[in-house]
Amino acid sequence: MRPAWHALFAPLPRDAVVNRKPVGGGAATAGWQSLTVELSAGAGGLRHIMVTLDEKGAPISAGDWVMYAADGAEGSTYVHENVGGRLEADGTFRGTRWRSVTFEKPGSEDAEVKESHHAPPTPEDVAAIHALVKDLVEKAR
C-alpha cells in the first residue's frame, strides 16, 4: 500500500529531507541550485521531486515523478507518472505530463510497454506544481 504522499503533487511529509546542491555546467548556470526530495515507500514505490533555482533563488524548473509496482501471478506491472517543465517568470508552466505502464514477465530481461502517453498539464496540474514548488523551497530554508 502506498502512503498518501506517494502521488503526483501530494504534499510533502513533514519530515521530508531536501537535498540542495549546485548545478554544474559552467558560466551559463553559475549560482544555480538543485533542490531534490527522494522518498521511498519501500515495496510501494518511489517518488522524486526536483526544483531548479536560478542564481537569484527563483524557481525556473520543476518535476514530480512517482513509480510503483503491482505484482501479479503472471509478472509485475510498473506505473511511472511524472510532470516536469519550466516555470516562467509570469507564473506560467511549460511542461508535459507522462504516464507509462510496463509489464515484466518473470525470467524475462525485456519489459513490455503496455501504455505510454503524454499530455499538456491541466490548469489543476499547474496550480499543484506551483504549490509543491513553494512547499519544497520553504522546506529548503
Backbone angles phi and psi of 46, in degrees to 5: -130, 155
**Distance in angstroms (rounded) separating the CA atoms of residues 125 and 129:** 6
Cβ contact 54:28 at 8 Å: no
pLDDT at residue 84, as a whole number: 96
Cα 89 to chain centroid, rounded: 21
Rounded CA Rg of the chain: 17
Q: Which residues of 32-43 are buried (b: 16+ CB within 10 A; e: fewer)?
A: bbbbbbebebee
pLDDT at residue 48, as a whole number: 96
pLDDT in tens, 7-43: 899 999 988 999 999 987 777 788 899 999 999 877 7
Query: Per-residue confidence at 106, pLDDT binned at 50, 70, 90?
Result: low
C-alpha cell at position 21: 546542491
Q: What is the mean pLDDT of the chain?
A: 88
Helices (H), 1-141: 123-140
Strand partners, 53: 33, 59
pLDDT above 70 for 72: no
Which range (18-22, 31-35, 99-103, 116-120) has the least confidence? 99-103
Q: What number is the average pLDDT over the span 68-72?
A: 74
C-alpha cell at position 99: 504516464
pLDDT at residue 36, as a whole number: 96
Q: Which amino acid is located at 81 in the chain? A: E
- CA max distance for the chain: 53
Entry pTM: 0.85
